[in-house]
Structure formats: structure tokens, C-alpha cells
Structure 1
């Protein structure tokens, strides 16, 4: 194992064991290096690597702290990797969406507050009668983001949000090239909303599956 990797593992063990909790300040560099049996250079490299993935927060003139370790922070690194996807992998992103989003939609049907459900409906109502593809896609992203947040599971929400970027261009492409796609999207959104508003999780799950699978199937044929 590389020296830097060993240093990362030792810091990780301190966090996982609870010795260093969210928001905790790391000991001074010299003290921590001696305690872990590391050179100061190896420790610096480990801290730098862990700060890049939002595990540690290096504050100049103050010290190094463990972050809040919230899922959205820790999954930022995955979002960075996702941004480098190739066009030929976009179908795989849709396949993952088809696994995750119906589950989130079913959870949202039970977990969303009445206020969140009302805002979800208002989001659909904000679309003009004959929306452009860009307006519809922006509304689509907002609609699905609200549902993901409404699931009540922060990890699931962060995963879904990280997948939205790679599929945006495909959504626009479908809206521009497939006849009736925009109307179908609005109808399916309405059905998903009605199922959530009616607190019917399995119907919400089914409509979400139909909705995402439809885009996936179109993309499969288009590619």
C-alpha cells in the first residue's frame, strides 16, 4: 500500500471509530504525524486528498476540521466523476435512474408534507400552456428534484441529483425529435403527482417507472 494511502486509511479509521466526529478539529500536524507514525509530507498528502472529497476542511490559519460528513458533500466527488461521462454511457445512467427514482417516488408519497405536495403541484402549474422544450426540461428537473428531496432520504436524494446532469441533454434531444414526447411527459408528471397527492406509493412507483423507462426505451432505439 502506498504511504499516502496508508495515511488516508489511518485518518479514516479515526473518523469511523468516532474519535474524530463531524466538525472535530484534527490535532496539530506534528502531533498527528508522530502519533500515526507518518512523515509530515505523507500526512499533508492524505489531508489534501481527503479535503478534495469533502471529508476534511482545511482552514488557513485555523486548522483542519472534519466536515459535517453530510451525504451531499461526500457525493460531490461522484458528481465530479459523473460529469466526465461519455455519450455512449448515458443509457446506463437512465438504467440507474430507473432503479432509484421509482423507489424515491414511492417513499415521497408517504413522506412528503402537505406543503411539499402543494409545491409539487404548483411546479407543474407553472408551465405555460405550450412550453418550449427547454422550459419543459427545466420543469422536469425541478419536479424530480422535489420528489427526491421529498423521499426523506438524503443519500438517495444526493445520488439522484448527481445523475440528473448526464441525462439532461438526452431529455432535450427527445423533446426535440420525438413526436408527442412533451405531452406524454406532462401527462405522466400529472399522474405521478396525483399518486403522491393521494398517498398511493405503489401507484406512484409504477408511474415513475413508466415515465423513466419510456425515455430509456426511446434512447435505446435512438442510439
Structure 2
């Protein structure tokens, strides 16, 4: 197949993973929609093995569900799922900040967080919802990575990925409620708090940063911010 020429098995898996995940996170494939291996192999021009492995990895990230005798579909998250995920994200980020700022922030990790902040600000000026969502995820992963805690990051990444799935599905509603520039300002404020090195300041900024702008009012009234 065309895409397989000159590419190793791992590269083919990454190709399929990035394309399927991109389609899911920009809303081109809706929650609950089936993912058929045969259709994906024809679309990407690769064999079934890398597509199957990509779907397995997406299952680990919480973006797809493997259903017995029913195949694979994009994950659907309930109101309870979202409340739990946002609560878990908040708890993990607070723990990461408290761990990271027990000493002065690591300059290299802080630089990564600053670059992620700048990416959010650039994305806010563009009409590209997937770029904004990716920049948002990159920022929060960099925030948790400040702790230098490998196992914490391993637990955190699937949480933020699943939240991005829901955010992508509700990006239009978010745009109607507030501008991308407002979100960029919130993230810059949080970065500056982290750069101050004061854990209490960062925890206060996190509390004000919020978590649940993307939840529909009927799912979680009174909770906002992202």
C-alpha cells in the first residue's frame, strides 16, 4: 500500500494514530460513531495491523471504546464521567503544583510551560479549534510535568485527553460564551503565577482558572472555566 513504502511499522502506527485522533478531537468523527478497520485502511492506504494497534492505543487514551462483538466506537462520556474527570484533573494538578514548587521551579520545565502558553496565545488569533485544543492540552501536560513525576504524568495524560474529546465536541458553544483571547489570558495568568514560584499563589490561580466551561449547563450548573 502507498503509505507503507519507506515507513516502518512504528511510523505507520503513529500515522494512523495521529490521523484518527485528529479526526476525533476536531469533531469530524462524533462520539458514539463506529470506527471500521476496513474503511480506515482504505482511507490511509495502510494494512490493518497498524490501524488495529492505533485503535488499541486510542482505547488506552480513553478516546475510543472496544465493544465485544460490536467493534470500536468513539467514546461517549456521561455527565458523571465529565464531573469525575474534571475533579480528577483538578486534584492531580494541585498535587503536581505542590510537588513542583516545594523548591524553585525547574528552569527547563518552566520554559516548556512558557512555550505552551505562547502557543495558546498564537492559537487564540487563529480560526483553528483543533490547534487551540492541542495547545490547551500541551499547557496542562506541561503544568503537571513541572513536578518531574513520571507516574503522575502517566496517570494525568489520559485524563486531559478525554477532556479534550468533550471540549472538541463543545468548542462552538465555548466560542459563543467567551473569546479565545479570554482563555489565552487565563492561561497566561496561571503561567505567571507558576513563574513566581509561590505555591499558594499558583493554587489560588488554579482555583480561579476553573475547569468546566465546556460542560453543558444541564450537566453541571455553576461550574465554569477551562
1:219 counterpart SS class: coil
Equivalent position to 2:145, from 149, 172, 182: 149
CA shift in 2, pair 1:87/1:185, >3 Å = same
So what's the TM-score if we normalise by structure 1?
Answer: 0.56
Instruction: Assess if the C-alpha contact under 8 Å between 2:193 and 2:202 holds in 1.
Output: yes
Deviation at 1:176, TM superposition (A): 1.8
Query: For structure 1, which runs of at least 5 residues remain unmatched after alignment?
Result: 1-75
Deviation at 1:81, TM superposition (A): 7.9
Distance of 1:107 and 1:185 partners within structure 2: 25
Equivalent position to 1:108, from 78, 97, 100: 100
Counterpart in 2 of 1:219? Answer: 215
**What is the root-mean-square deviation in Å for CA atoms of aligned residues?**
2.8
Distance of 1:192 and 1:97 partners within structure 2: 15
Counterpart in 1 of 2:207? Answer: 209
Q: How many residues are matched? A: 146
Query: For structure 2, which runs of at least 5 residues remain unmatched after alignment?
Result: 1-55, 66-74, 220-226
So what's the TM-score if we normalise by structure 2?
Answer: 0.55
Counterpart in 2 of 1:87? Answer: 77
2:211 counterpart SS class: helix
Over alpha carbons, which structure has the higher Rg? Answer: 1
Cα offsets for 1:102-126 (capped at 9, x unmatched): 2213433446411221232122223
Distance of 2:61 and 2:189 partners within structure 1: 33
